[in-house]
């Protein structure tokens, strides 16, 4: 068993185009949710989201790259470049042969599906661009990172809806911990803020028209976001030997399946995943200072999650802090666990716990310390990051302050 | 008409090769111009869009296709033929 540490992180999301901006927004409790801006938005009843605004693909990529990269791939590559630059790693020889990329995404190239369905169905075109398939496939982003950074080891993409990133990072963690790889690039990405993407979500009637207010009694649904976050998971001795800055240690992971319902969450399934991650990381409940909640802002998730946390952590559930940063960056679906891990790293590294903003009214069914509206300074040793997906697939990661 | 077909194809190939149209020699092969298999498929798509024609090209085995891509001049001649056949020009 090897120890696993994080030596690089990168992101682009509604709160910022890099980690510095994002962490600053999380600290200040700034909301990145705004009016959606894309074609046919006037035909939607849901018109808000955590959209990446003022983004110019041509500033980052050339014409040929843009022809091949869906928006979710572009976000991934930008985040990966930041993370790998921070880690200061160059991949060649044996290191390249054993280092890989495991990413999470729920929808992959949704904008590409949307644009091309529109072309053939709405505009009646009978011909589509030849890169439609390589652009929309779910593994496109992972593959482009591997090509860009010469990563030739185990690489694939995980799709478990809203838990995709946590499942992906859990796999990367296990590869490094088992000794299979010295370094893994991991995280997740999503970009389904387009007419078809949001229209599909509207159908479920779980989306809020005005704000994401997790744990607040007056919450009325989730708000979708987009973006990516990428991390460098590295074997501890490898990182130490080269004098890399260690941001945090990854100490535990567990996944469970509710085997119950395709959309309704289960307290038991969530609780078993939380308890499993603590067992895996040899964590006592009293060590846990902060939980980054799944906290979608739906009636069902938030009360079930609070019950699961109380179930898994017992009395200590009343002492720890739990917040949902989805209130700021929105729900990035398959990319959400990755962006939320930034808040977890901030908690153990900087001693600042991100708030749940938009919190207005206490809900007796969510009676935990949800860090309402303002970030808090605190010494946090261990954090958990929850992700509970549609389909009842749960994945929880545990981080500890850097050794 | 045929001069315009030539100019348009040279422009499409130049865009793909990231060159100026004046740098595209008639005898050049796509390989000479640094256009790989994906670039070729994208060029054929652009040609189909520009002239509203169907190009008989199978990326599995380009040499079996009834469409000569051995040089820029060959592509122009082939497209001129297709435009004449399919558009009755």
pLDDT digits (tens, 9 = 90+) for A191-247: 999 999 999 999 999 999 999 999 999 999 999 999 999 999 999 999 999 999 999
Q: Is the pLDDT of residue A370 over 60?
A: yes
Per CATH, domain A4-241 is 3.30.9.30: no
Query: Among A128, A130, A144, which would you mutate to test the B interface (most chain B Cβ atoms within 10 Å of its Cβ)?
Result: A130
> Where are the strands (E) in A68-223, listed by range?
100-104, 156-158, 183-190
Spatial separation of the C-alpha atoms in residues A176 and A135, rounded to whole Å: 29
Q: Do A130 and B48 touch (CB under 8 A)?
A: no
Give A113's pLDDT tier (boundaries 50, 70, 90).
very high
In chain B, which residues have their Cβ closer than 8 Å to the Cβ of A129?
42, 45
Q: Which residues contact A50 (CB under 8 A, 6 or more apart)?
A: A13, A14, A15, A32, A33, A34, A223, A224, A225, A226, A227, A328, A329, A330, A331, A332
Spatial separation of the C-alpha atoms in residues A367 and A158, rounded to whole Å: 33
Quote the pLDDT of residue B60: 82
For the question of residue A331 being annotated catalytic, the response is: yes
Instruction: Calculate how close chain A gets to B39, using CA atoms only, in Å.
Output: 9
A67 to chain B, any CB pair closer than 8 A? The answer is yes
Q: Is the pLDDT of residue A83 over 70?
A: yes
Give B66's pLDDT tier (boundaries 50, 70, 90).
confident
- Copy the structure tokens of residue A392: 């009842």
CA distances from A243 to A120, A173, A177 (A): 54, 20, 19
- Copy the structure tokens of residue A91: 């991949």
In chain B, which residues have their Cβ closer than 8 Å to the Cβ of A130?
38, 41-42, 44-45
Q: Is the pLDDT of residue A179 over 70?
A: yes
A376 SS3 class = strand
In chain A, which residues have their Cβ closer than 8 Å to the Cβ of B45?
127, 129-130
Quote the pLDDT of residue A216: 98
Give residue limits of the domains in chain A. Answer: 4-241, 256-400
Asked, colleague to colleague, whether A4-241 and A256-400 share their fold, the answer is yes
How wide is the angle at C-alpha B75 spanned by C-alphas B73 and B78, nearest 5°?
Answer: 110
Q: Is the pLDDT of residue A61 over 60?
A: yes
Mean pLDDT, range A269-279, rounded to an integer? 98
Instruction: Calculate how close chain A gets to B14, using CA atoms only, in Å.
Output: 13
Q: Is the pLDDT of residue B57 over 90?
A: no
Residue A67: which of B42, B44, B48 has the nearest Cβ? B42
- CA A170 remoteness from chain centre: 12
Quote the pLDDT of residue B63: 74
Minimal-distance CA residue of chain B relative to A131: B42
A129 to chain B, any CB pair closer than 8 A? The answer is yes
% chain B with pLDDT above 90: 75
Name the active-site residue from A144, A149, A167, A294. Answer: A294
CB A292 within 8 A of CB A386: yes
The DSSP symbol for B85 reads H
Structural domain containing residue B13: 2-87
Q: Is the pLDDT of residue A180 over 90?
A: yes
Q: Is the pLDDT of residue A29 over 90?
A: yes
Q: Which residue has the tokens 């705004």?
A: A34
Minimal-distance CA residue of chain B relative to A67: B42
Query: Among B38, B50, B51, which would you mutate to test the A interface (most chain A Cβ atoms within 10 Å of its Cβ)?
Result: B38
Supply the DSSP string of A55-107, one letter for each residue: --HHHHS-HHHHHH--HHHHHHHHHHHHHHHHHT----HHHHHH-EEEEE-SS
Q: Is the pLDDT of residue A258 over 70?
A: yes
Residue A131: which of B18, B42, B48 has the nearest Cβ? B42
A187 forms beta bridges with A103, A230
Give B59's pLDDT tier (boundaries 50, 70, 90).
confident
Mean pLDDT, range A181-185, rounded to an integer? 98
CB B68 within 8 A of CB B78: yes
Helix ranges restricted to H, A13-54: 19-28
Q: Is the pLDDT of residue A31 over 90?
A: yes
Spatial separation of the C-alpha atoms in residues B44 and A120, rounded to whole Å: 19
Give B3's pLDDT tier (boundaries 50, 70, 90).
low
Instruction: Calculate how close chain A gets to B43, using CA atoms only, in Å.
Output: 9
A262 SS3 class = coil
Quote the pLDDT of residue B88: 72
Q: Which residue has the tokens 């999650």?
A: A305
Spatial separation of the C-alpha atoms in residues B65 and A270, rounded to whole Å: 56
Crossing angle (nearest 10°) for helices A336-350 and A19-28: 70
Number of domains in chain B: 1
- CA A165 remoteness from chain centre: 5
CB A324 within 8 A of CB A297: yes
What is the pLDDT of chain A when averaged over all its residues? 97
Q: Is the pLDDT of residue A89 over 90?
A: yes
Mean pLDDT, range B25-54, rounded to an integer? 94
For the question of residue A316 being annotated catalytic, the response is: no
% chain A with pLDDT above 90: 100
Quote the pLDDT of residue B89: 52
Minimal-distance CA residue of chain B relative to A134: B38
Name the active-site residue from A167, A331, A344, A366. Answer: A331
Spatial separation of the C-alpha atoms in residues A384 and A387, rounded to whole Å: 10
Give B2's pLDDT tier (boundaries 50, 70, 90).
low
Residues 44-63 of chain A with CB under 8 A from chain B are 63
Overall CATH class of domain A256-400: alpha beta
Closest by CA position to A170, among listed A226, A231, A81, A83: A231
Name the active-site residue from A31, A144, A149, A162. Answer: A162
A249 SS3 class = strand
For the question of residue A329 being annotated catalytic, the response is: no
Q: Do A127 and B48 touch (CB under 8 A)?
A: yes
């Amino acid at each position: 068993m090897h120890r696993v540490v994080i030596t690089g992180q990168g992101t682009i999301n509604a709160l910022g185009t890099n980690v510095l901006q994002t962490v600053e927004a999380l600290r200040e409790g700034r909301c990145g949710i705004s009016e959606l801006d894309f074609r046919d938005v006037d035909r939607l009843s849901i018109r808000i989201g955590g959209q990446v605004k003022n983004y110019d693909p041509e500033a980052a990529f050339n014409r040929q790259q843009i022809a091949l990269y869906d928006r979710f791939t572009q976000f991934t590559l930008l985040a990966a470049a930041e993370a790998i630059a921070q880690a200061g790693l160059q991949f060649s020889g044996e290191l390249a042969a054993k280092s890989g990329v495991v990413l999470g995404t729920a929808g992959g190239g949704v904008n590409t599906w949307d644009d091309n369905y529109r072309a053939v169905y709405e505009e009646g075109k009978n011909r589509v661009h030849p890169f439609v398939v390589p652009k929309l496939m779910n593994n496109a982003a992972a593959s482009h990172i591997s090509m860009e950074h010469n990563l030739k080891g185990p690489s694939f993409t995980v799709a478990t809806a809203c838990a995709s990133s946590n499942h992906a990072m859990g796999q990367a963690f296990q590869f490094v911990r088992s000794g299979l790889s010295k370094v893994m690039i991991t995280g997740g990405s999503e970009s389904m803020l387009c007419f078809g993407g949001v229209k599909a979500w509207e159908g479920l009637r779980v989306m809020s028209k005005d704000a994401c207010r997790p744990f607040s009694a007056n919450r009325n649904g989730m708000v979708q976001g987009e973006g990516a976050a990428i991390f460098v998971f590295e074997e501890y001795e490898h990182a130490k030997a080269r004098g890399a800055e260690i941001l945090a240690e990854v100490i535990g992971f567990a996944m469970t399946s509710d085997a119950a319902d395709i959309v309704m969450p289960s307290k038991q399934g969530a609780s078993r995943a939380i308890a499993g991650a603590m067992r895996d990381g040899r964590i006592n409940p009293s060590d846990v200072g902060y939980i980054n909640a799944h906290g979608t802002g739906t009636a069902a998730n938030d009360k079930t999650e609070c019950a699961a946390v109380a179930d898994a952590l017992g009395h200590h559930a009343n002492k720890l802090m739990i917040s949902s940063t989805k209130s700021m960056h929105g729900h990035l679906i398959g990319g959400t666990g990755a962006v939320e891990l930034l808040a977890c790293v901030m908690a153990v590294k900087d001693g600042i716990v991100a708030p749940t903003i938009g919190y207005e009214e206490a809900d007796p069914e969510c009676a935990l310390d949800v860090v309402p509206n303002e970030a808090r300074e605190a010494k946090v040793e261990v954090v958990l990051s929850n992700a509970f997906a549609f389909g009842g697939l749960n994945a929880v990661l545990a981080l500890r302050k850097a050794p | 008409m045929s001069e315009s077909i030539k100019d348009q194809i040279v422009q499409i190939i130049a865009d793909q090769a990231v060159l100026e149209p004046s740098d595209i020699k008639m005898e050049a092969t796509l390989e000479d111009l640094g256009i790989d298999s994906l670039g070729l498929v994208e060029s054929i798509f652009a040609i189909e869009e520009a002239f509203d024609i169907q190009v008989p090209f199978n990326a599995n085995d380009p040499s079996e296709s009834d469409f000569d891509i051995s040089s820029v001049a060959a592509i122009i001649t082939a497209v001129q033929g297709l435009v004449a056949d399919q558009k009755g020009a």
